Amino acid sequence: MSFPLSKLGLSAAQFGLGGSPSPRSRPPEVEARDILNIAARGQLSVLDVSGVYGRAEQILGDLIPRPSSFRLTLNSVRADRGPDFVEQEARASLRRLAVERADAIVVPSVGELFGPHGMALWDRLQALKSQGLFARIGISVHASDDPCGVARRFKPDLVQAPASLLDQRLLVDGSLARIAAMGIEVQLRSVFLNGLLFLPPDRVPATLKGAAGRLSRVRRMIAEGRSDPLQAALGFALSRPEASAVLVSPTTAAELSAIIAAAASPPPDLNWDDMALDDPVALDSGSSWAAA
């Protein structure tokens, strides 16, 4: 196993286990089982189940290969119902996933920590860590959250942050390097920026026309470097020294197989700095213009 491949982590957010209709030909449980088996064989390091809730967690718990080598990451629930509810749901998630403890529990939004119940939420998560239910506590941040300030104030064990070939903001300004220098693990998410790099030019929506020219130039540079968008996106993310893990969210087993194959290949020799976007609409990670 190459070192870059060992940095790959798997997010279950796109497994489709929540019961919503899917155009896929195979049942989501079958697809999820195959994805997990491929991830286990590929020795992917992290399994982030933060996008999975309720019955979907129970299904996932039945599907995870045993014994599991994954470092399991959960999300905490919102703080507005108080710390007792946060603890109740955290323990329920562990039961549904059929595990006694998990590697990490992550606060899904910085705003939760600055609300009226924020410190009670954080104190309760620290208590759960002390009890051995979670080895670490993390925070999921956005570029607009002042990630370094959040890290200095709360001193989490890990931070999940968006960074990609197209969205290099937290890398260029040194935020993620400073966070890593504090001894905090950095995990990259949104490394495909909602699939924007994979959109054909004629499918770029009108709201992103301002970035269309730049996207075309980036694709041309990748092609001239004898690479493809998937290999370039993964090569960039996996090469970042700030990150210990790079989370990907495949929807099918075939997608994960392609990701692993691309990640295992030597990274392309490209000028990463010239590929960053500065279009605020395109860099809004909350947007959804394509399946990532």
CATH code assigned at 227 = 3.20.20.100
pLDDT on residue 23 = 53
Q: How far is Cα 259 from Cα 217, in angstroms, rounded to an integer?
A: 23
Tokens 């064989």 — which residue?
A: 41
User: Is residue 151 classed as helix, strand or coil in its secondary structure?
Assistant: helix
Residue 195 is encoded by which pair of tokens? Answer: 């699939």
The CA-based diameter of the chain, rounded to the nearest angstrom, is 56
Residue 154 is encoded by which pair of tokens? Answer: 């709360």
Phi-psi region at 243: left, alpha or beta (left = phi > 0; alpha = psi -120 to 50): beta
Residue 167 lies in a domain: yes
Residue 48 lies in a domain: yes
pTM of the model: 0.92
Residue 187 is encoded by which pair of tokens? Answer: 């995990």
Distances (CA, A) of 125 to 102, 120, 135, 141, 211: 13, 9, 11, 17, 41
Checking DSSP bridges between strand 46-48 and strand 158-162, what pairing results, if any? Answer: unpaired
Range of the domain at 89: 3-275
pLDDT (tens digit, 9 = 90+) per residue, 218-246?
999 999 999 999 999 999 999 999 999 99
Residue 117 is encoded by which pair of tokens? Answer: 């119940």
pLDDT on residue 24 = 55
Residue 21 lies in a domain: yes
Q: How far is Cα 35 from Cα 234, in angstroms, rounded to an integer?
A: 18
Residue 172 lies in a domain: yes
Residue 284 lies in a domain: no
- For the chain, the domain total comes to 1
* Beta carbons of 166 and 197 less than 8 angstroms apart: yes
Q: How far is Cα 226 from Cα 211, in angstroms, rounded to an integer?
A: 23
pLDDT (tens digit, 9 = 90+) per residue, 144-162?
999 999 999 999 999 999 9
* Beta carbons of 90 and 133 less than 8 angstroms apart: yes
Residue 287 lies in a domain: no
Residue 211 lies in a domain: yes
Residue 285 lies in a domain: no
Give every residue of the chain whose pLDDT is below 50, as ranges.
1-2, 21, 286-292
* Cis geometry, peptide bond prior to residue 67 (ω within 30 degrees of 0): yes
pLDDT on residue 292 = 37
Other CB atoms within a 10 A radius of the CB of residue 203 amount to: 9
Q: H or E element: which one contains 258?
A: helix 253-264
Sign of CA dihedral 109, 113, 117, 119: positive
Tokens 């014994």 — which residue?
A: 67
Of 284, 69, 48, 61, the closest CA to residue 185 belongs to 48
